């Protein structure tokens, strides 16, 4: 099979990991569900109770979202001036709200109708569309930035998602992605017990090399790639400890998730 992440045909046998649910691509070291699903699984956040639970989690991660937003702003080299942000998978809209407060015009795609409604009520100026990014193929290339945190691993066709992100962004626009990391210390030490190996939700799990290939085969050049660890919910002294641990792990690209900032080529 052609790897959904690096697009290479396997030249060596794929390695079964995790009770036969995942195969490891010998070319990039990413993991993909085997057998590969015909449809995307999105049941997890459906219903009011799941939406409320997700909202509480996102509120606790507000500062974490803000740090991602500020990372984008720093690379745009100017103060925010009517910039346009598209968030893919906005959940209850906590990041949208933070962006709007900082002067962005922000829109979003969200799969869950319940979460999209919460996001709309919290952000009346945002255009929140209930849609899968894979179906959103008619972008007008008028966004300055696109963010997708913890989305890529759920998507059936990562290359199509990248193409659709290209069609949303202005030339030179920035894409920020975060997704689990198969080069992480956790996967290296826990193997099949790594909690990101979740066949009900995660279809593709990327290595740094697989993510780099996916982006470069699309319209992007990588600006920065680093790894993150921790929950993003730490505060006070725990936040300092988490930051130190993250810095140490990132020196070997060993953090639990990859965070990449990429620029659409002109
Ligand atoms: Zn691969």
Output the CA angle 174-121-84, nearest 5 degrees: 20
Instruction: Return d(Cα 234, Cα 133) in angstroms, integer.
Output: 30
Question: Which residue ranges form the domains of the chain, and what is each CATH number?
Answer: 41-183+204-264 (3.40.50.150)
If you measure from the C-alpha of residue 86 to the centroid of ligand 1, how many angstroms do you get, rounded to a whole number? 28
State the pLDDT confidence band at 28, using cuts at 50, 70 and 90. very high
For residue 221, the CA-to-ligand 1 centroid distance in Å is 19
* Alpha carbons 1 and 214: distance in angstroms, whole number: 16
Report the separation in Å between the CA atom of 5 and the middle of ligand 1, taken as the mean of its atom positions.
5
Tokens for 40?
Answer: 């995307």
Cα–ligand 1 centroid distance for 232 (angstroms): 28
Whether 1 shows a pLDDT value over 90: the answer reads no
User: In angstroms, what is the span from residue 26 Cα to ligand 1's centroid?
Assistant: 7
Q: How confident is the model at residue 139 (pLDDT cuts 50, 70, 90)?
A: confident
Cα 104 to middle of ligand 1, angstroms? 36
Among 73-87, 115-129, 145-159, 166-180, the least confident range: 73-87
Distance 174 CA to ligand 1 centre (A): 24
Does pLDDT of 19 surpass 70? no
pTM: 0.92
Q: Which of 15-24, 230-239, 249-258 has maximum average pLDDT?
A: 249-258
Q: What CA–CA distance (Å, rounded) separates 87 from 95? A: 8
């Amino acid at each position: 099979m052609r790897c959904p992440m690096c697009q290479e045909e396997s030249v060596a046998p794929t390695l079964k990991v995790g009770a036969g649910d995942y195969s490891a691509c010998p070319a990039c070291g990413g993991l993909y569900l085997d057998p590969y699903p015909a449809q995307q699984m999105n049941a997890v956040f459906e219903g009011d109770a799941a939406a409320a639970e997700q909202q509480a989690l996102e509120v606790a991660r507000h500062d974490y979202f803000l740090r991602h937003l500020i990372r984008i702003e720093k690379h745009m080299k100017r103060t925010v001036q009517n910039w346009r942000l598209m968030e893919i998978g906005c959940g209850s809209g906590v990041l949208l709200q933070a962006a709007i407060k900082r002067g962005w015009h922000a829109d979003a795609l969200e799969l869950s109708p319940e979460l999209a409604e919460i996001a709309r009520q919290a952000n009346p100026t945002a255009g929140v569309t209930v849609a899968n990014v894979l179906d959103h193929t008619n972008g007008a290339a008028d966004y300055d930035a696109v963010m997708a945190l913890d989305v890529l691993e759920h998507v059936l066709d990562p290359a199509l998602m990248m193409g659709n992100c290209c069609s949303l962004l202005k030339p030179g626009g920035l894409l920020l992605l975060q997704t689990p990391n198969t080069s992480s210390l956790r996967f290296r030490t826990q193997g099949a017990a790594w909690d990101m190996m979740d066949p009900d939700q995660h279809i593709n799990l990327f290595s740094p090399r697989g993510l780099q290939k996916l982006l470069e085969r699309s319209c992007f050049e990588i600006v920065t790639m680093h790894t993150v660890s921790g929950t993003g919910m730490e505060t006070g002294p725990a936040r300092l400890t988490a930051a130190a641990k993250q810095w140490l792990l990132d020196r070997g690209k060993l953090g639990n998730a990859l965070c990449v900032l990429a620029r659409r080529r002109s």
